[in-house]
């Protein structure tokens, strides 16, 4: 079958003829791949800056954001049946007996660091015609989300961040009075890529007043933001300092820029008791300068917390699937606007080398 693979040693990226997956254990499921989204991590892998193949393979099959349809299930699988739509999670457990997280089925909190990640680290990804996985790593998706469920994995990153935010803000003395969630609170989303816009939607449905701050121009992103009830401000229109001045207290900053120096410096404008959520991983662009002493002083003085959760659990995937349904009902037609034109698997190797348009790019592997 066809798959798109990167050969780090050869520094090559191309279509390969990969062996067909088969059920080997009673918990296995064979899935026909429908859509695979790609993001900055894939482009980093395609540029040979990160990513590692399984130990027995010269290449790594790309793709960690997938939607598929179940073809065949092993004898012990009950929860999932052939014909069901499923989204796979990405991380798989390490082998260490002493890793409590992985032994509890929670590789998102792996203690040894020797977890694998499908399509990224030591395990093949999903950009192939079919793949096999254990049923416990597959999340069922309702049929009506067929066209947008490829957004589950990027949204699961935002869900992870927001779940941790809720956890942290239980520290506030008034949370016990039932004042939870975002009702009346102010969130500033930094960036306007898919994770930023999905995160903005998730914050709006939780009651936050959301402003999206982008370094790119206005255009269709601004229109999208307004359609979901968020404000859209560009760096060209307003300096962050002035914006922060008239927004009032910013309770949450949701960073989705790839942790750029500008986004990190924005921490200075976070309000008292605020939380700064990092959802991007800085690219390997080298060191940059920030006045850490000034930022840390402010953090301590103002009771602020920084969290960097980008490794979603199965529960975060389930929350994402549920929210995709909610977003589709609340804003019909909005989610498909986050997806750029779908391309075929034959066009994929070339597409990984091209710069991003800012929308989610998707390979349509099958209909």
Residues lying near Zn ion in the complex (CB under 5 A): 39, 41, 94, 99, 102, 110, 112
- Rounded to a whole number of angstroms, the minimum distance from the CB of residue 188 to Zn ion is 23
Q: Are 199 and 151 in contact (CB under 8 A)?
A: no
Nearer to Zn ion, 120 or 162 (CB): 120
Q: Which is nearer to Zn ion, 67 or 110 (CB)?
A: 110
Torsion angle in degrees (nearest 10) through CA of 292, 294, 298, 299: 10
CB-wise, 138 or 244, nearer to Zn ion? Answer: 138
β partners of residue 223: none
115 or 276: CB nearest Zn ion:
115
Q: Which of 109, 100, 103, 128 is nearest to 36 (CA)?
A: 128
Q: 99 vs 250, which CB is nearer to Zn ion?
A: 99
Q: 240: which 2 tokens?
A: 């962050």
Question: For residues 124 and 186, which CB has a smaller minimum distance to Zn ion in the complex?
Answer: 124
Q: Cβ of residue 119: shortest distance to Zn ion, in angstroms?
A: 9
Residue 103 Cβ vs Zn ion, minimum distance, rounded to whole Å: 8
Of 343, 282, 272, whose CA–CA distance to 310 is shortest?
A: 282
Distance of alpha carbon 241 from the chain centroid: 28
Q: How far is the CB of 111 from Zn ion (least distance, A)?
A: 5
Nearest approach, Cβ of residue 148 and Zn ion (Å): 16
Among residues 57 and 112, whose Cβ is nearest to Zn ion? 112
Q: How far is the CB of 279 from Zn ion (least distance, A)?
A: 11
Greatest Cα pair distance, the chain, in angstroms, is: 61
The least distance separating Zn ion from the CB of residue 242, rounded to whole angstroms, comes to 33
Residue 112 or 356 with smaller CB distance to Zn ion: 112
Least distance between Zn ion and beta carbon 220 (Å): 22
Which of 39, 197 has the CB closer to Zn ion? 39
Min separation Cβ 51 and Zn ion, Å: 12
């Amino acid at each position: 079958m066809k798959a798109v693979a990167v050969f780090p040693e050869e520094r090559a990226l191309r279509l390969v003829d990969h062996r067909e997956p088969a059920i080997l254990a009673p918990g296995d499921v064979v899935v026909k791949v429908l859509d695979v989204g790609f993001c900055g991590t894939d482009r980093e892998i395609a540029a040979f800056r990160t990513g590692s193949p399984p130990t027995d393979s010269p290449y790594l099959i790309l793709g960690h954001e997938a939607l598929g349809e179940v073809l065949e299930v092993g004898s012990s699988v009950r929860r999932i049946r052939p014909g069901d739509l499923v989204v796979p999670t990405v991380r798989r457990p390490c082998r260490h007996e002493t890793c409590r997280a992985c032994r509890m089925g929670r590789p998102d909190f792996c203690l040894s660091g020797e977890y694998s990640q499908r399509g990224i680290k030591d395990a093949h990804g999903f950009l192939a015609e079919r793949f096999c996985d254990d049923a416990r790593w597959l999340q069922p998706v309702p049929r009506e989300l067929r066209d947008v469920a490829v957004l589950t994995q990027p949204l699961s990153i935002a869900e992870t961040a927001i779940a941790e935010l809720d956890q942290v803000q239980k520290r506030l003395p008034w949370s016990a009075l039932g004042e939870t969630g975002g009702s009346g609170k102010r969130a500033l989303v930094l960036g306007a890529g898919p994770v930023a816009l999905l995160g903005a939607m998730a914050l709006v449905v939780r009651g936050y007043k959301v402003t999206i701050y982008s370094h790119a121009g206005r255009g269709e992103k601004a229109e999208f933001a307004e359609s979901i009830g968020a404000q859209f401000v560009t760096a060209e229109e307003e300096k962050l300092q002035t914006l922060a001045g008239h927004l009032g207290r910013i309770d949450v900053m949701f960073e989705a820029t790839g942790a750029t120096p500008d986004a990190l410096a924005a921490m200075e404008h976070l309000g008292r008791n605020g939380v700064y959520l990092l959802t991007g991983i800085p690219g390997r662009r080298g060191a940059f300068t920030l006045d850490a002493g000034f930022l840390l002083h402010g953090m301590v003085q103002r009771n602020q917390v920084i969290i960097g959760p980008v490794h979603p659990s199965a529960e975060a995937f389930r929350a994402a699937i549920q929210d995709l349904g909610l977003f589709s009902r609340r804003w019909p037609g909005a989610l498909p606007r986050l997806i750029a034109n779908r391309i075929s698997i034959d066009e994929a190797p070339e597409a990984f080398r091209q710069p991003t348009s800012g929308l989610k790019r998707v390979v349509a592997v099958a209909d």
